[in-house]
Amino acid sequence: MNEVQAEGGKWSGAWLEVTGPAGKSIVQVIDIAPSLGEGDLDMGPIAFSEVTGNSEGRYPITWHWISAPGDIGPIHFYSQSSNPYYLKLQAANIVNPVEKMEILVNGVYTDMPVTTDHFFVYSGNLIAEPFTIRVTDIIGNQVVSSGLTISDTAGGQNGSGNFPAVEESAISLERPAGTVISNDGGYALGYSMDGAALAVDFIIRNTGTADLSGLAVTIDGTNAADFSITANPASSLASTATTSFTISFATTQPSARSCVLHITTNEGKSIDLELNGTGISSTSDSDSDGMNDAAEVKLADFGFDWKVNQSDLVAKYYRNASSAGLYSADQVHAMQVGTPLIQRNSTDGTFTLKIALKKSTDLTSFLPLLLKPEETSVNGSGEIELQFSSQDDAAFFRVEAQ
């Protein structure tokens, strides 16, 4: 394999399907050829003839990695120049290319850096034998092999199994990255509150060995109008690569809504998944417990449930909210006094308007604020001015007139 795509020997032992003018052939990577350009392979005579129809020359080819054909048995481990304080280990006879190797040290898997010739190295502390190795392929599959020793791996020692074979074309849907969403059931996006849009990001991963093309995402179904694709994925995706897209959910209907998400490719691989969302309103109280649905959704982490009557919990919340500096709209509105109705004194024909100022620190209890004559005055516009001070950190003042 050419040095550029060999990635420092990462593809050592990997299997490739090569296509040329005369046909296809399956080959295994056994070495790196620095003289080759990117995309080039130097093949053995049999494979070369199958692909080109000739015995020598230079021909245009395409290739991609595949899982090993057939049952090749367990992984073989080979150590080189190793001792109880230094382990240089390679995994051979692999179904899929190796991405990472770790050694179990004191109950914790420790990463082993890779060398340019695709050996993995651990050094420093005494290696307790037999030791355990965990190998991860480029898809994320793992194989754990125990009972390995330096002396046995020097001549080649079998591990415990091998990686599962990977399909040529395959995709997975993830949220978040690394967590696969099953096709078996629907996926709940969350809530649209008072018609506000909820944006949800998804990851598409190419879990096959070949590149994917014509990648497309569409939506249909019962309430498809409430769902939209606001960011599209890439149209092509290399093996093991990822791309993302965004679904936006917005509805003014206070009810459950749904649609069907379709992900398709030119290679025939697809995903069909039902998406569910719920419209929530701040003017509705579905469980009749005194707190609106939107507020209960936002306070779900504190035990509130918009579908379950929790009158005691709601009452406790409002009763103690003022101690945290929180006040309800009704409490604030109560500060506004209605327009007073005054009547003329039938004896002397005069009107008397009494104004009182009351203070509260919690919007629950209001006490009279006694003003001195020098703290009141009438300005040039005929407006009554009250000038006073307060020692409280926070206070509410209400004017009452009669």
Mean pLDDT, residues 107-126: 92
What is the fold, at CATH topology level, of the domain defined by 76-158?
Answer: Immunoglobulin-like (2.60.40)
For residues 116 and 196, give the distance between their C-alpha atoms in angstroms, rounded to a whole number.
53
- Please check the confidence at residue 339 and state whether its pLDDT lies above 80: no
pTM of the full structure: 0.70
Instruction: Place 334 in a pLDDT band, splitting at 50, 70 and 90.
Output: low
- Please check the confidence at residue 19 and state whether its pLDDT lies above 70: yes
**CATH code for the domain defined by 3-66:** 2.40.40.10
pLDDT at 154: 97
Residue-wise pLDDT tens digits, 131-172: 999 999 998 999 999 999 999 999 999 999 999 999 998 999
Mean pLDDT, residues 12-23: 94
Q: Residue ranges per domain, the chain?
A: 3-66, 76-158, 171-280, 327-402
- Please check the confidence at residue 363 and state whether its pLDDT lies above 90: no
pLDDT at 336: 63
For residues 248 and 243, give the distance between their C-alpha atoms in angstroms, rounded to a whole number.
17
pLDDT at 44: 94
- Please check the confidence at residue 280 and state whether its pLDDT lies above 80: yes
pLDDT at 326: 75
- Torsion sign across C-alpha atoms 4, 7, 13, 16: negative
What's the chain's average pLDDT?
91
Asked if 3-66 and 76-158 have one fold, the answer is: no
Residue type, position 226, single letter = D
Best CA proximity match to 163, nearest among 63, 29, 72, 28:
72
Mean pLDDT, residues 320-336: 70
What is the fold, at CATH topology level, of the domain defined by 171-280?
Answer: Immunoglobulin-like (2.60.40)
